[in-house]
Amino acid sequence: MRTTLTLDDDVATKLRELAHRRRVSFKEVVNSVLRRGLVAQESRSKSSRPFRVEAFRSPFRPGVDPLKLNQLSDELEARRFAETGQVRP
């Protein structure tokens, strides 16, 4: 099959170097590299297990960040101390 393919300069350079080292045509190197990449991609997707996320119970509603709540609590306590000189009991 004949097709037009636009390669990045660095990729084309590496393919030309590989063709020169192997003493084969540019076409053979491109086909070989694509085949190996496709086989690796297929075997990776077959062996990969699905990613699972397990939910857990939280006292907070979705989207509430407990760290930001602590930061807000600290800021309010610091403001209260600055205004009244008292720390809450």
Degrees, nearest 5: CA angle 24-25-26: 125
What percent of the chain lies above the pLDDT cut of 70? 92
Listed by start position, the domains of the chain span: 9-47
Q: For 11-22, how does the pLDDT look when each residue is reduced to its tens digit (9 = 90+)?
A: 999 999 999 999
DSSP state of 2: -
Enter the tokens of residue 41.
Answer: 């991609």
Q: For 22-64, how does the pLDDT look when each residue is reduced to its tens digit (9 = 90+)?
A: 999 999 999 999 999 999 888 766 667 777 888 888 888 888 8
Residue 84's pLDDT band (cuts 50, 70, 90): confident
DSSP state of 61: P
Contact in structure between 3 and 12 (CB atoms under 8 Å): no
pLDDT the model gives residue 42: 80
Report the distance separating Cα 9 and Cα 15, nearest Å: 10
